A and B are shown apart, each in its own frame.
Chain A
């Protein structure tokens, strides 16, 4: 094993990657933001100055101050700590829902795209049906039907996202299955299942990754939206949408900090996800098309 050459190659690849990431500064910045948010979510218990659920009636409705950087809410809970912990819930729900959706879509989409014929037609008509519902309404309906808890929110979001990914993967699959390396995989002795899932499917992902990051943003908005209207999250859980809903009642009376900060958190996170698509695709792409 030529260790030295291998290390050199990997180093060179890494350098090329960083160089390309840096070039798109918006994406790069966005990915740093997301990294920060993820770290905040992971280390929430250590970062949050107070217990997010600790109520203290004497300290209720305090404005922004040095002890409470984002003020306190109606129950005297520190808004900053709640926002920090909220990152956990929102990110986790969005991530799990997206992963589930990707998993199911990969299977359906690649099968549909590769096999074609009646299977493809059938699946596509089912997909079309699901897509004919406005996605938020559909999510609402599913959550309401299944019951008001986090798990069902995850399921609802996953279901509303499956059509998009399935379509994308199927489209890519239709394209790649004609490529020569797909034929080569056959001549070399691969059974059909391996051709689809080991060779072709991973090559379908690049456009899906970009879509997934956009969809993450949408997933977070959906969680927040559902909680805003009272579905999904139950109090006293700290979740951005729910917090924004709580704070909305106080816009008129002037306690602006209760809804503003969670709202900003949603906005920044979704925006960052929207912009990070390109950067993420680059990280996962072994080709790294440079000017060579």
Chain B
């Protein structure tokens, strides 16, 4: 195909002990395993230089997709192509070298920094592991990267617990861009931050993207931020993508009932604006017991008998794909 990043039919299944049957839970010899289908047949592509937003509520599998992309988790099935090269089979040194070009920014700023390493050590590490540079060159790059994320050089000798939440996240960002990656996966980069800091970090990420000419996969449950940063957005539910479109198009004309329900639930900071809430009844089913056919079936306000048939993403408009038997119906 030739797109910058391409994911084909990615799946990640985890075997878990079946929780339901209480007897088998007590019986240590029981081999009744259920399959937790965290990611179940996901396909999408990302163009060079764009930001693809990936949204969904907790448990939808978006973080798992991210980890499979980085090969922090091994996919159960499917293929990952980076610049037309197949990543899925890579191992060992080949994989390690490739990591230079694909980096990740994690959600929890405190947990993603080794508490025993100073900021300088954290930032130097990727340079030491990937580039044959002299000590001076490394130091220079560290200072450069520090400045790019807006941190003062006096923070170099500090440890994570001596930094504020915003500073920690900036260090994370600095670490990710140190090797000038071509592709950065951002896994909820602002979710653990205070609301007032979020905007600043988002603006920084935007700035960095153009400065470095990279491509982003921006994962978040915060739809307003996703709308701001992304060119295209994909919505996930229970391990699959249910809708994908240009950002503006998705927010203005959502076609999948789940996307609509999600958008309608976001509180608007304006008491004059009255919106119709689309309520999805019940709770998200467990990923070990995914309903057959359309996964939203039991909760969807417009569900019909035909929804018990399997559904895949279908093109509903230019570049707008939906996995629904009756897209756009109210």
Contact = CB atoms under 8 A, between A and B. Distances in A.
B99 interface: yes
Given A2-B153, A9-B157, A287-B161, A187 B104 contact: yes
Contacts of B157: 5-6, 9
B11 to A, nearest CB: 20
Given A180-B106, A184-B112, A189 B154 contact: no
Given A2-B153, A180-B107, A187 B129 contact: no
A181 B111 contact: yes
6 contacts: A6-B157, A180-B107, A181-B112, A186-B99, A189-B179, A286-B116
Interface of B: 67, 70, 72, 96, 99-100, 102-104, 106-108, 111-116, 125-126, 129-130, 153-154, 157-159, 161-162, 172, 175, 179
A187 B116 contact: no
B166 to A, nearest CB: 15
Contacts of A6: 157
B125 A188 contact: yes
Contacts of B116: 202-203, 286
Given A184-B104, A189-B126, A191-B96, A2 B154 contact: yes
B126 A188 contact: yes
A183 B116 CA distance: 16
Contacts of B96: 189, 191
A18 to B, nearest CB: 17
B54 to A, nearest CB: 18
Interface string A168-196: 00000000000111011111111100000
A289 interface: yes
Given A181-B112, A184-B104, A287-B115, 10 more contacts: A2-B153, A181-B113, A183-B104, A184-B113, A186-B99, A187-B102, A188-B125, A189-B99, A189-B125, A189-B179
Contacts of A186: 70, 72, 99
Contacts of A59: none
A287 B153 CA distance: 21
A9 B112 CA distance: 23
A187 B157 CA distance: 23
Nearest to B172: A184
A185 B116 CA distance: 13
A9 B154 CA distance: 10
A287 B72 CA distance: 27
Range for the number of chain A residues in contact with chain B: 20 to 34
A200 to B, nearest CB: 9
A20 to B, nearest CB: 14
Contacts of B126: 188-189
Nearest to A191: B96
For the residues of A in contact with B, the DSSP-based class is helix
A68 interface: no
Contacts of B158: 9
A281 interface: no
A189 B106 CA distance: 15
Nearest to B155: A5
Contacts of A203: 114-116
B213 to A, nearest CB: 20
Contacts of A183: 67, 72, 104, 106, 112
Contact of A180 (B112, B159, B162): B112
Contacts of A286: 115-116, 159, 161
Which 6 pairs between the two chains have the least Cβ-Cβ distance?
A189-B129, A180-B112, A180-B111, A188-B126, A181-B114, A180-B106
Contacts of A2: 153-154
Nearest to A187: B104
A190 B100 CA distance: 11
Given A189-B130, A190-B129, A180 B108 contact: yes
Contacts of A187: 70, 72, 99, 102-104
Contacts of B107: 180
Nearest to A6: B157
B314 to A, nearest CB: 35
Nearest to A184: B112
A125 B52 CA distance: 49
A186 B146 CA distance: 21
A184 B161 contact: no
Contact of B125 (A5, A180, A190, A289): A190
A7 B114 CA distance: 23
A201 to B, nearest CB: 10
B153 A289 contact: no
B192 to A, nearest CB: 10
A180 B105 CA distance: 10
A183 B187 CA distance: 12
A288 B126 CA distance: 27
Nearest to A10: B157
Contacts of B129: 188-190
